[in-house]
Structure formats: C-alpha cells, structure tokens
C-alpha cells in the first residue's frame, strides 16, 4: 500500500487543526463557567445562596452583631471588652460571642495585649 507523503502531511495538519479547535472550544467553555461562577459569588441578589463570595452579608438593624461591629468600626484604636459592652448595651459574654461570630463570618478582628492591661479589640483593615 503506497500512500503519498504529501497526503499524510495534509492529513496530519488537518488532524492538528481539529485538535486545536477542540481545545479552543474547551477552553472557552471553562472560561465561561469560571466567569459565571465569579458573577454568582459577587452578585448581591444571590448573597447567602450557596457558597459565600467575597462580599459580606449585611446585619439586621440593631442586632448584637451590628452593634458590636458599629462600635469596632467607629474607632481607629483598639477598644477593651468593657467599653464594647457599655457602648453596645450587651453583656461581656454576649460581646465575646459576637466577636467570635464576626470572626467566623470573615471579619478580621485583632486582639492587642500590652502588659497587664485588658486586651483591646479592633478591626484589621
């Protein structure tokens, strides 16, 4: 069986072209899926549905989390837990629980300790 070498070269080029087009289509599909996932994670209408994206969910007005967050965000420097308790109107244990829930929600809250002073909490930017 004698096959023309030019015909074999053309067949191989055609095969390579098919493979490139198929890979291009696959890359396009993966790209579209990734963009759709990113759009779903950052869409404010879909917050709380499925996995959480980079956006944080808003607090209910006057909830304990909102009050503690408001106290922490209104200050540049750290605040001790008694001050947070007094300003938010919550007990010290409720403030601790709120801080832990804020941390679990993705907020970065630092706890600075200096010597024997009470630890001071503040939002890390």
Cα 100 to chain centroid distance, Å, stands at 18
Domain locations along the chain: 5-44, 64-123
CATH code of the region 64-123: 1.10.10.10
Residues 44-93: tens digit of each pLDDT: 555 544 444 454 566 787 888 889 998 998 888 889 999 999 999 999 99
* pTM (2 d.p.): 0.53
* pLDDT for 97 beyond 90: yes
For residue 38, what pLDDT is reported? 80
Q: Residue 99 — pLDDT band, cuts 50, 70, 90? A: very high
- Residues 6 or more apart whose CB falls under 8 angstroms from that of 94 comprise 64, 85
Q: Residue 104 — pLDDT band, cuts 50, 70, 90? A: confident
Q: Which of 81, 125, 120 is nearest to 107 (CA)?
A: 125
Angle between the 64-73 and 92-104 helix axes, to the nearest 10 degrees?
80
Q: Residue 120 — pLDDT band, cuts 50, 70, 90? A: very high
CA atoms of 90 and 56, how far apart (whole Å): 23
Residues 1-31: tens digit of each pLDDT: 688 888 888 988 988 888 888 888 888 888 8
Q: Find out whether 33 and 46 touch, Cβ atoms under 8 Å.
A: no
Residue 41 or 67, more confident = 67
């Amino acid at each position: 069986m004698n096959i023309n070498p030019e015909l074999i070269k053309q067949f191989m080029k055609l095969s390579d072209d098919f493979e490139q087009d198929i890979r291009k289509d696959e890359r396009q599909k993966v790209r579209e899926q990734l963009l759709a996932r990113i759009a779903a994670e950052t869409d404010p209408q879909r917050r709380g549905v499925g996995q959480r994206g980079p956006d944080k969910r808003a607090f209910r007005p006057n909830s304990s989390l909102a009050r503690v967050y408001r106290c922490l965000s209104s200050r540049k420097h750290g605040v001790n837990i008694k001050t947070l308790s007094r300003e938010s109107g919550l007990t010290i244990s409720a403030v601790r629980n709120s801080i832990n829930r804020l941390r679990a929600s993705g907020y970065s809250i630092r706890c600075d300790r200096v010597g024997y002073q009470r630890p001071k909490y503040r939002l890390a930017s």
